[in-house]
Amino acid sequence: DTADLRAMGFPVWTRHVSVQGTVKATPGSVNVPVTLGGVAISPGDVICADDDGVVVVAREEAEWALDRSNERLAKEEATRARLEAGELGVDFYGLRDRLVDLGVDWIDD
């Protein structure tokens, strides 16, 4: 199933793969709070996952989180453009003087 899911482009994250099938005839619940890995998840919460991890955003904080995420993406794009233009992060983050204060010998070629 793993290869099929990947080929479909269906996003799945797991720690393990098992050959044992699931029981599909067991009744369960829908739209109830659950806890996964010690994190409480309520109906309507937003779950975002990628290769770096998973985050759960409470429904009432989703718009705020989206706005902050878009701000961060814009900042990261601007930083990437500066780096691609040849600017050093040590300069635009103002770290050069701090490193010298810490005793780092800075040698320019």
User: Containing domain of residue 88, as a range?
Assistant: 2-19+29-102
Answer whether residue 15 is part of any domain.
Answer: yes
Residue 107 lies in a domain: no
**pTM above threshold 0.85:** no
**Mean pLDDT score of the chain:** 91
Across residues 4-13, what is the average pLDDT? 88
108 falls within a domain: no
pLDDT at 106: 79
**DSSP of 27-85, one letter per residue?**
---SS--EEETTEEE-TT-EEEEETTEEEEE-GGGHHHHHHHHHHHHHHHHHHHHHHHT
pLDDT score of 50? 87
Residue 75 has pLDDT above 90, yes or no: yes
The answer to whether residue 67 sits within a structural domain is: yes
Look at residue 65 in the predicted model and tell me its pLDDT: 97
Domain count, the chain: 1
